[in-house]
Copies of this chain bind each other. A is one copy, B any other.
Amino acid sequence: MADAASEDLLSAEELGHAWPALSMEERLEGFHGLVRGDADDFFLDLPAADQAELLVALPPEERRLWVRLLAPDDAVDVVQGLPEAERPRFLELLDPVSRREVSALLAYAEDAAGGLMSPRFARVRREMTADEAIRYLRRQAREQAETIYYAYVLDPEQRLEGVVSFRDLLTAAPERRVDEFMKRDVVSVPDTLDQEAVARLMAAEDVNALPVVDGQGRMQGIVTVDDVVDVVQQEATEDIQKLGGMEALDAPYLATGFVAMLKKRAGWLAVLFVSEMLTATAMSGFEEEIAKAVVLAVFVPLIISSGGNSGSQASTLVIRAMALGEVRLADALRVARRELLTGLSLGVILAAIGVVRIFVWQGLFGSYGPTTPLLAATVGVSVIGVVTWGTFAGSLMPILIRRMGFDPASASAPFIATLVDVSGVVIYFTTAKLILGIS
């Protein structure tokens, strides 16, 4: 057949879906099979880590072409994805202006405003008229400013004096001076601000771009709202993975290798497993009681899991509320009071269900004999205690962890469950001892 070769070629869309599962050789083949226009779009749409991998794999003479396609802030992400040794070689491929910009951006932490911003913002002078400003921005539009829809007014020391939207310029009388109608109280962010805080501020201020300034108040770049969508998505993914009791992955699920995946998951599981061993130690101390009333052992999973579940709820709620800035460290007392009461109410509801279950089973099958009321009391009181404690501990643990300077999302559901399991065993058997009067 004449078109046997072309039948083998994947479209950009097919290649995109197959990408994570392909070997680098197959990726290169697929990429080279795309027509030029599609290849451009395909390359620009790849995540930075994949762009970096692909660039390293490409023949050296093809690299410059692709590198120069990237905007400086995207180029920075790619460089950060390269092995240390490859970076200088890669920077040399850039034109001198971009190289300077990229090198400057590389000095910032990846997850700070400085690492997120583009240095190519549009600027106007305060004494320009609206008409002059529009003409000036028109020129900047050709020279690759990230967005011309916001123009910043800077003084000679590059300090931010105001901002005008392109729309303001269009609707203003052509001969009015920029400083007559520019917005002066501009919200800006320091270049060291964490990207999560940048995202929160942008959502709260409802703007499409935020200027970034250095320690001396000089404007360095802008963060635009489309960068922030990625940040919000990525931070939520990291939090969710941590909440599941593991380290956050660096790549999509199906694109993460088997060994890398194992490493991210085994560490936390091992820590939890070792901690959970304390339940065995705690229960060993009650072996005598168990021997006397084996039925006690039967309710252990029920009791401790009720604490774990209510604790998971509480910690998850508080962690998310903290990530959204709804709950701060100063709110700890309010959260504690609230969750104590909630935990108590939830405990009473679950205890009631548990007590009914025991009496019903006794009625139907005679499962528990004459000590049924005492057993029911033990289970009921324990559930109230364990759920109240689990909810309380689950809600305060993220706040405590944040206060110690760590990420509150580490107070994952499995972490809280493990913590509560150990104390749950102690609460349960101590209650049993008191109520059943064993030993």
The segment from A4-12, A50-58, A210-218, A290-298 found at the interface with B is A290-298
Cα separation A413 to B310 with both chains bound (whole Å): 12
Residue among A137, A283, A291, A305 with max Cβ neighbours from chain B (10 Å): A305
Which applies to chain A's interface (DSSP): helix, strand, loop or mixed? helix
Q: Give chain B residues whose Cβ lies under 8 Å from the Cβ of A313.
A: 244-246, 265, 268-269, 414
Residue among A243, A246, A262, A312 with max Cβ neighbours from chain B (10 Å): A312
Cα separation A290 to B287 with both chains bound (whole Å): 11
Please, what's the 1-or-0 string for A419-436, where 1 marks a CB less than 8 Å from any CB in chain B? Answer: 001000100000000000
Number of copies: 2
Please, what's the 1-or-0 string for A263-297, where 1 marks a CB less than 8 Å from any CB in chain B? Answer: 00110111011101101100110010011001101
Please, what's the 1-or-0 string for A169-191, where 1 marks a CB less than 8 Å from any CB in chain B? Answer: 01100000000000000000000
Q: Is the CB of A346 within 8 A of B262?
A: yes
Query: Given A229-B203, A317-B253, are A353 and B270 neighbors across the interface (CB < 8 Å)?
Result: yes
Q: Is the CB of A245 within 8 A of B309?
A: yes
Query: Of the candidates B166, B301, B310, B320, which one forms a contact with A301 in the assembled complex, judged by CB atoms under 8 Å apart?
Result: B301
Cα separation A127 to B308 with both chains bound (whole Å): 66
A100 at the interface (CB under 8 A from B): no
Query: Of the candidates B142, B228, B280, which one forms a contact with A298 in the assembled complex, judged by CB atoms under 8 Å apart?
Result: B280
Cα separation A252 to B324 with both chains bound (whole Å): 9
A14 at the interface (CB under 8 A from B): no
Q: Can you name the residue of chain B whose Cβ is closest to the Cβ of A358?
A: B280
Q: Give chain B residues whose Cβ lies under 8 Å from the Cβ of A244.
A: 243, 312-313, 315-317, 413
Q: Is the CB of B258 within 8 A of A277?
A: no
Q: Is the CB of A413 within 8 A of B203?
A: no
Cα separation A291 to B294 with both chains bound (whole Å): 6
Q: Shortest distance in angstroms between A19's beta carbon and chain B's nearest beta carbon?
A: 11
A254 at the interface (CB under 8 A from B): yes
10 more CB-based (< 8 A) A-B contacts, given A254-B326, A301-B421: A229-B232, A240-B316, A244-B413, A266-B346, A274-B353, A274-B357, A284-B367, A301-B425, A305-B421, A312-B412
A-B residue pairs in contact (CB < 8 Å), sample of 27: A137-B170, A141-B167, A142-B171, A148-B167, A148-B170, A228-B229, A240-B316, A240-B319, A243-B316, A244-B312, A244-B313, A244-B316, A245-B309, A245-B313, A254-B321, A254-B326, A254-B327, A254-B331, A258-B338, A258-B342, A265-B313, A265-B342, A274-B353, A276-B301, A294-B294, A312-B414, A413-B417
